[in-house]
Structure 1
Amino acid sequence: MPIITVTNHVGPTYALEPRAPTAASATLFRNFIQWNVVNAVDGYVVQHIQRNEKYWVQRHFPRHQTYQAVSVDDYWECWRVTVAAGVTTITPARDLINDKFTVVTVMDAPGADGTVGRFPDKTGTRGRWKLRGLVYFVADPGLVIADWPAGGAPSAGLLHSRLLPPIQGNGLARNRQGRLGGVLFRREFAGSWDWTTEDQRIAPRADDGVGAPPLVTYRDPVVSARNFPALAGFRSRNIRTADEAAGGWLPIARRPAHG
């Protein structure tokens, strides 16, 4: 059985990093890795991603209270492993990096119904997050790549990925090798942020209308890292608020309106 480890190329980094020109959002956490496979054979590295982020969002009007927004993401992704003349190649890779774990200030993620929702910008909020990758290896001919389309899971980018767990006949072959087996490696991170300390508050313009919000800027967040909580699980799907959609996230259109 292959042995899987990682080489960290960036991080783990628990800190606010400014938005780079090529990034969609500033990051609170980064971990970029390269897969290492010992005793490799032709097949696939498979990773099951579980992520949740829990927000507490404070409105700036007395009539509106703090509300919760829960972001849950759960999907499967894979990398091709080939061995030729004693050399192991793992693709896709870019600058030796196979995978990126990030927690960004603005995140889009699908709800349980598959609809992609945009969660609140973390600026002005506080919350906590967990991110876990459970890693398997499936030797040829155990994985059916046709059931893992590129971009099949929105959060996996261009990787071959899927939202449903792979089973024999759907993602895995109908033969003895068509199974995941045990978890070979775990990547588990957690942290929190508090980005609610105001720097300044500017009154709204008169033409914004009655009840318009003030313009608020915030100081840099307090970001803390913690060990992944043992036996914590990923139960955010069970957390609901009165305005929360069935998919587990609060759409922008259903945020409390001002005025």
Structure 2
Amino acid sequence: MTLAKDARGTEDPYVPSERRLERERYKRARARRATAVAALSTLVTGVVLYLVVVNAPGWQRTRETFFDWGYAREAFPKVLEGLWLNVRLLLVCGAAVLVLGMLVAVARTLRGPVFLPLRVLAAAYTDFFRGLPLIITLMIVVLGVPALRLQGVTVDPVLLGGTALTLTYSAYVAEVFRAGIESVHPSQRAAARSLGLTGRQALRHVVLPQAVRRQVPPLLNDLVSLQKDTGLVSIGGAVDAVRAADIIVGRSLNYTPYIVAGLVFVALTIPMTRLTDWVTARTERRRAQGGAT
């Protein structure tokens, strides 16, 4: 607590001025007013949307087809069981994407004429798979590889679908890593070399740690997208959350299971999205304060 001396030389507790107290009261009143306005506008918007939807001519039929509580209870355990496959794909493919993306990014940033073929191959890889729609990549891998009838090559749609996801997302992640590597000033590498580090050691101990730290928010965004796209492996017959819902829809001709699967994916994605927002805000605060990135 701040202390101030009075005329007799004794220390008294600090007493804020009336002007400061008035300013703090004004800030609190403004915050309360802003909160009330936000709550009221949200309530009004929700009521308007509710009235528009429930008064639509086809609402009754839509509710029976998409929001049937009985089909939701039937679908939920099966969708949740299928979701475990999506989670496993996210974990395995996410790790593979980070490793492969890093290797491709490093290959694209290698210096010297001897590495030209490697740089060209890495650039061709990223250009091809970033330009090819993911759904087409999945169809080519999941349907095309078994058609080749190669000995010793798996025909499991889960493994083939995971391979397609890894190929596509590695191209995007490679560009994220490459942007991070190129954002590190060349003087960092030169300083490392002047201290006796080799080019490989400078890349490993100086450049890559800074590059990865700077690119954490976009990497988390790519993982959020990967989590959603794991549902596309269902096109090959893998029974994930989407396929589990599709089986029930095909039997009942009621689309409520799709809503259940969608809500389950949203519930899984929201924590990752909030984590991404928190990491991004933390990074921006550190940059604003002049800290290390």
TM-score normalised by the chain length of structure 2: 0.21
Q: Which has the higher helix share?
A: 2
The structure with more radius of gyration: 2
Q: Which has the higher strand share?
A: 1
Answer 1 or 2: higher relative contact order, Cα 8 Å, separation at least 6: 2
